[in-house]
Amino acid sequence: MRFHKECLNCKKLLVGRTDKKFCDPQCKSAYQYQIAKEQPERFYDKVGNQLKLNRKILKEYNKGGKVTVRAEVLNEIGFNPSFFTHYWKNKKGDVYLFVYEYGFLKKVEHGSDKFILIKWQDYMKK
């Protein structure tokens, strides 16, 4: 007894096993991709995507090893300082937040928010 007489993706007539749902692997893949797209984004996917975006932004703006950038510039392109992987505290007590190997410290200079961007160095190991 055949339950699915046509491919769930392309609607072509199925030939072969009675429990067959797709005509080929490409249709199965396309169908599963479409179903996954319709699902709400999972929490871990949101976190991972934001970390990737933060790293990309920090890498792009930190070409010199240590750079100061206005916070509004980074925030406008999607940077979210609430997402980071680890932190490092320097001898002065400043806590740099890191997204993998790129770090940032939020400072207020002359009334405007800025980020000091750095790259992880060997001396920062504990």
- The pLDDT confidence band at residue 39, using thresholds 50, 70 and 90, is confident
Is this prediction's pTM over 0.75? no
Residue ranges per structural domain of the chain: 1-39, 53-124
Mean pLDDT, all residues of the chain:
92
- Phi/psi-derived region of residue 111, left when phi > 0, alpha when psi is between -120 and 50, beta in every other case: left
Rounded-to-integer distance, Cα 8 and Cα 22, Å: 6
